[in-house]
Structure 1
Amino acid sequence: MSITTLLAFTPWPAVSASILFILLVTALYLARGTAHQAISATANALAKGLRLASHSVAHAEQRLAARNREVLLAAGREAKERIVEREFTRVGDTVRKDLAGYPEMHRRLSEAIIRMEEQQAKAVEVPPEVPGWAQAVKVVANIDARNAGADILSDIHKSMVKSHSEAMGAYRKSSGERHSLLRRMMPDWRLVTETLGHVAKSVESVIARALTIDRHMEEYEAIVRGEDRAVSVLSSSSIVYFFVSLLVLAVATAGAAVNFTLIARPMAEMVGGTSFIGVLRTADIAALVIIMVEISMGLFLMESLRITRLFPVIGALSDKMRVRMIMVTFTILLLMASVEAGLAYMRELLLKDELATSALLRGDATDTMLNGHMWITTAAQMGMGFVLPFALVFVAIPLETFVHSLRTVVGLIAIGILRALALLLRVLGNGFRHVGGLAQRLYDLPLFVPLWIEMRMAASEPATGPQGSRGRTGEGRSFRGAQP
């Protein structure tokens, strides 16, 4: 039914529209209470549903945060245990090395000290004996000079001078011998000084490592206690490790791309450049398989060396089996590197053939001459083909860091997303509650005339009598029965 048909039940469309509007307002006014209840119920249902969803998301965020905290603490404990174990191993090696040489060092020190004591005892200065001339001079001094006393004194003087010269010579000789003994003590002094310096250096090294172990043990205890500061530090470290390892992996990916470029073209000659597996060429897939095998062998080699711990099964092998695995993986890597070097050489030969063919087709005979310096490019490509597989071995280290830090970073991102989602649901729930009130106000907007009349009638009811009041109250109640 069109609008024209609705307005045609009277000869005047304006009158028809007015009548229809009055009927519509009357119907809306009569259904006002039910409509308000429906709007309120719908808004409350949506608000409660969104609030319930917000609480569920918040609980999920709390559980994920607790799980992420446990993962962080477990990873931190494992890392600290490895660090403390390594420090204890270093301290043990240092002490073992020093204790192994301690008997020899003690013997050399004892011998050097004994020699020094003996030489020092020999080098003690012995004072010269006092000559017995003093009493003789006193006796001669009492003799009368007229009775040949002057001659006696002259002889005594000569004897004293001679004795003094002999005593000085003997003293100089003994001093020279003492100095010689002291010079012979210098090597022993140097030996003692060097030995004690070595001991002091070893003790200082052990003390420094002990302080490092104490610091790591304090951090380990904080992690075991689950302190918030330890969790914050571990989170920051995980984020830093994630981005650093991601950067290193990006560099390794660039190296793998260069390696792929070196071997893709020769592989096309080997397996055929026209065959496809899906949308990829078979030669490209073969080159990728070679690179992936090299990376896998590098991972196994690092695991066998216990540098990384991505595969606990390999780390749990016996030392004999690990040595065998190291030899096998290194041999495979060496063979793969040799194969890549050969493919790089083959690539250079193919390039030369293409250049020569192009020159012949152009009729340029000068371009067919081989350049004498092309061997440099060939050697460089072969060297890159041989070295890059061994360089890709070290991808295992940033890969392990990336894998361990990825759990934490993904957990933090998920926590942030859940927290934002919970906030959004809470805001939407409150918004729907207010939208319900707004919808009720919009519903009442076309009913402003009957609502104004109702308000005026309600305001005039207290001024009437008891009977009129009861009658009007009953009418008003029946008139407003639909109002909530």
Structure 2
Amino acid sequence: MSTNWWMIWPGNPVLSVLALYALSLFFLYPARGPLHGVIRAISRAISGPLRLGARWLLSTAEMLRGRNKMVLLAHGKEEITQGIEREFERVTAVVQRDLHDYPVLQRKLMGEITRIEEDYQKCGAVPPTPPEWTKAVAAVAKIPPTADGLVQKILGDINHSIEKIQDKAIAEYRRSYECRHKILKGFMPFWRSLNQTLTQVDRNLTGLQESASRIDAQMEQYQQISVNSDKVEHSLTSSATTQFAIAAIVLLIAIGGAFVNYKLIALPMSAMVANDYVTANLQASDIAALVIIFVEASMGLFLMEALRITHLFPRINNLPDKMRRRFMWVAFSLLLTLALVEVALAVLRDWIVIEGIKLTSELAGGGTVAAAAEDSSLVNKIPTIGQMILGFILPWALAFMAIPLEYFIHSARTVLGVSLVVGIRGLAFALRVVAHVARQAGNLLVNLYDVLIFLPLLVERIVRPNGGQDVGPSKSRRVAPFAAK
């Protein structure tokens, strides 16, 4: 079939195209209005639902953000309440431990102060005044010197007596001051005791002041949470994100420890459980090893719940103390039993490895390797001892996985909620962009259609310059009224 069937003038495609274009104008120009309406209707049909969907997503995001904020503030309020309760418990313990004996301490202080005051008064005793004979000595001293031997002898005796009395008085003064110095020296133990007592009181009061400062800070944060402050929301969100990241890292480390534990007990479990393949790559012994690890993690979780370190199961925390202690001892006993079982499995694993080496060496016809395997020296026992230690420690290490697990669960709610809100807002933005593109695409098609029929539009504008540029055949023309008769 010929491909030139559309040509009006065969052999002249340009003239044929122009002729077809001229003929199409007779159909395109009258259909301008309806086609404009169809294009705009299609663009509105596409952009309208997209914009409605974007609005619905934004409203959903706001509602979800409100719920996330409510949950976040409730969780933050609960944590702050627990922190305030712990601070009050510490303050109560400090008061009962330190300030409970404050009356005794006060009596001790008053007694030491009284003794110091009495000793001080003793130190302040004034020595006796000089005797009256000093006046007589002053009168004798006024006697003029003379050559009389009797007078000189009397004066010499008086001088000798005065020197003896002076030495005696000086000795008494020295004894008096020595006694005062001894009393002052005896002050030192009382001063030290008083200093230690006051230091202890100051330390206790400082601890109470620090606890009061922490309580004030937590109460201020509690008030901000109560008034739904945005600052507290951002702070709690950042804290939850940090806790989520840290808990995820710790859980990954714990999963690594669980993997090591699995590798440690998988081989000996094959000697206890039939090696039937449950799936193509999973044996029954592997499932048994995984079950043991999961049971150890569960017992560790229950032990942490019974100790009230974690609060994943409120029913366990609300048990009576007697029942909770029994539950704690049951979980501890089961965990200890599983740890001892892993120790036995570690020994069994070493025995299986040695027997495998011996069997391989016997099949290979060598006796040196078998003799080395049978060597029971301490150096060859080091791997066995290490496996036994790991088998006993890893279950207890997995028990502490409950702490980061609790933080991970609580913070995941906030992090996932924030991520979901961001994702919904991003999707709403994408829908609005697509709706805008669809609407502008409709306008573009309308303009392209007008460009295609620009000749009739140009003629219409020339013929009716004031008739409106956008008036087409589909537009209702204004009918001139009839002339009045």
- Please give the alpha-carbon distance, in whole angstroms, between the structure 1 residues aligned to 2:178 and 2:385: 72
Q: Distance in 2 between matches of 1:480 and 1:100?
A: 99
- What displacement does 1:229 show? 1.0
- Structure 1 distance, partners of 2:142, 2:357, is 130
Offset of residue 10 of structure 1: 10
Residues 412, 461 of structure 1: alpha-carbon distance in 2 compared, 3 angstrom cutoff: closer
Q: Are positions 1:460 and 2:463 aligned together?
A: yes
Shift of residue 318, structure 1, vs aligned partner: 2.0
Q: Deviations over 1:62-92 (max 9, x none)?
A: 1111111112211111111111111111111
Pair 152,454 (structure 1): closer, same or farther in 2 beyond 3 Å = closer
Shift of the 359–27 alpha-carbon distance from structure 1 to 2, 3 Å rule, reads same
CA contact (8 A) 1:7 1:17 kept: no
Instruction: Tell me the equivalent position of 1:379.
Output: 385
Residue equivalent to 1:466 = none
1:308-344 deviation per Cα after TM superposition (whole angstroms, max 9, x unaligned):
1111111212222222222111111111111111111
Alignment match, 2:299: 297
| CA deviation vs aligned residue, 1:448-467 (integer Å, no higher than 9, x gap) | 3xx5145325513579xxxx
Which of 206, 212, 215 is residue 208 of structure 2 equivalent to?
206
Which protein is richer in helix relative to its size?
Answer: 1
Note if 1:93 corresponds to 2:96: no
> Where does 1:144-155 land on structure 2 (aligned, <5 Å)?
148-155=150-157
Residue 21 (structure 1) shift: 6.5
RMSD: 3.0
Match of 1:469 in 2: none
Contact preservation (8 Å) 1:54, 1:425: yes
Shift in Å at residue 49 of structure 1? 1.2
Pick aligned residue for 2:339 from 333, 337, 340: 337
Deviates more, 1:251-260 or 1:266-275: 266-275
1:105 maps to amino acid = L
Structure 1 residues 418 and 150, CA gap change in structure 2 (3 angstroms) = same
The correspondence for 1:434, drawn from 436, 440, 446, is: 440
Distance 1:290 1:340 in 2: 9
1:115 aligns to what? Answer: 115
Does structure 1 retain, via aligned residues, the 8 Å contact 2:32–2:472?
A: no
C-alpha spacing 1:120/1:12, structure 2 compared with 1 (3 Å): closer
Shift of 1:18: 8.0
* Partner Cα distance (1:46, 1:166) in 2: 126
TM-superposition CA deviations, 1:158-201 (whole Å, max 9, x none): 11111111222222233333333333332222211111111111
CA distance in structure 1 between the partners assigned to 2:288 and 2:25 by the alignment: 79
1:251-270 map, 5 Å: 251-270=253-272
1:200-241 CA distance string (max 9 Å, x none) = 111111111211211121122111111111111111111111
Number of paired residues? 467
> How far 1:58 sits from its partner (Å)?
0.8
Change (3 A) 1:153 1:47: same
Equivalent AA in structure 2 for residue 378 of structure 1? T
Match of 2:308 in 1: 306
Q: Which residue of 1 aligns with 2:483?
A: none
Q: For residues 48-87 of structure 1, what are the structure 2 equivalents within 5 Å? A: 48-87=48-87
Task: Give the deviation of 1:103 after TM superposition.
Answer: 3.7
Equivalent pair of 2:347/2:388 in contact (CA under 8 Å): yes
Q: Indicate the larger mover: 327-336 or 127-136.
A: 127-136
1:126 deviates by 3.4
Q: Look up the SS of the partner of 2:98 in the other structure.
A: helix
- Greater Cα offset, 61-70 or 178-187: 178-187
Aligned pairs for 1:463-482 (under 5 A) are: 481-482=473-474
1:280 deviates by 2.7
Cα 1:5–1:90, aligned 2, differ >3 Å: closer, same or farther? same
CA contact (8 A) 1:264 1:287 kept: yes
1:251-288 deviations in Å (ceiling 9; x for gaps): 11111111111111111111122342686321111111
Question: How is 1:13-412 mapped onto 2 (pairs within 5 angstroms)?
Answer: 26-140=26-140, 148-276=150-278, 280-369=282-371, 370-371=374-375, 372=377, 373-412=379-418
Structure 1: distance between partners of 2:34 and 2:219: 71
Amino acid corresponding to residue 459 of structure 1 in structure 2: I
Give unpaired runs (5+ residues) of structure 1: 464-472, 474-478
Give the secondary structure class of the aligned counterpart of 2:400.
helix
Taking a change above 3 Å as real, the CA distance of residues 457 and 424 of structure 1, as seen in their structure-2 partners, is closer
Structure 1 length-normalised TM: 0.88
Sequence identity (%): 39
Q: Distance in 2 between matches of 1:461 and 1:272?
A: 98
Paired position in structure 1 for 2:482: none
Shift of 1:353: 1.0
Equivalent in the alignment of 1:468: none
Whether contact under 8 Å (2:347, 2:384) holds in the other structure is: yes
The CA distance in 2 between the partners of 1:11 and 1:216, in whole Å, is: 93
2-structure distance, mates of 1:109, 1:431: 87
